[in-house]
């Protein structure tokens, strides 16, 4: 039982944010600290490295290690529009926002950007609807590569094969059929090197 005047556990888990524009105590609001924390897991597609981290949504740049609970250095990656893990969808290449990711898993942000996945055609590669995929702009590809491909202004995320002048885009879900396009019709944007999974419990 708490002594009179002592703080409860709930009170100890709150902090105050002061509205700097109006330096008035009436503008002080209480927030539960857990309302500001989002949990993520980075999974390397090529090296299978995993890293758990958290982000303080009140401070977008703040990335916290889930192991140590301390803030870690991070890299800012451009976040483009959604990319389809299903039928291709229109791709907007304008950078609307940025995503901060620990540089323990990615050492340099050169030629890197992120796309949010929409659809379930890559679930057997452990890429799910709502995940964020880290894409590297290069043509250093092999048969195991997962690539972001643009066809007529629409983008999709698939494994691929080249057969003559045809590019075969291979979903990783038995409920989807391969997409066949001419090599001349397609532009490989880059290869996926990692996946960021959201709402990790």
Catalytic site residues?
121, 158
Dihedral pair phi/psi, residue 185, rounded to 5°: -85, -15
Tokens representing residue 57 in the block: 């949504």
Tokens representing residue 170 in the block: 């291979």
CA distance 17 to 156: 42
Q: Are 147 and 45 in contact (CB under 8 A)?
A: no
CA distance 16 to 58: 12
Tokens representing residue 66 in the block: 């889930």
């Amino acid at each position: 039982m708490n002594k009179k005047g002592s703080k409860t556990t709930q009170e100890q888990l709150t902090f105050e944010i002061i509205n700097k524009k109006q330096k008035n105590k009436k503008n002080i609001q209480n927030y539960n600290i857990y309302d500001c924390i989002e949990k993520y897991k980075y999974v390397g597609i090529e090296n299978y490295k995993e890293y758990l981290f958290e982000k303080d949504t009140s401070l977008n740049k703040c990335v916290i290690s889930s192991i140590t609970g301390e803030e870690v250095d991070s890299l800012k990656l451009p976040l483009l529009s959604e990319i389809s893990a299903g039928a291709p969808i229109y791709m907007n290449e304008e950078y609307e926002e940025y995503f901060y990711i620990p540089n323990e898993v990615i050492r340099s942000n050169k030629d890197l950007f992120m796309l949010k996945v929409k659809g379930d055609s890559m679930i057997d590669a452990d890429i799910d609807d709502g995940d964020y995929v880290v894409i590297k702009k290069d043509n250093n590809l092999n048969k195991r590569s997962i690539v972001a491909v643009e066809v007529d202004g629409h983008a999709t995320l698939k494994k691929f094969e080249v057969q003559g002048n045809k590019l075969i885009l291979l979903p990783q879900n038995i409920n989807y059929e391969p997409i066949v396009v001419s090599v001349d019709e397609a532009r490989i944007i880059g290869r996926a090197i990692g996946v960021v999974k959201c709402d990790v419990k």
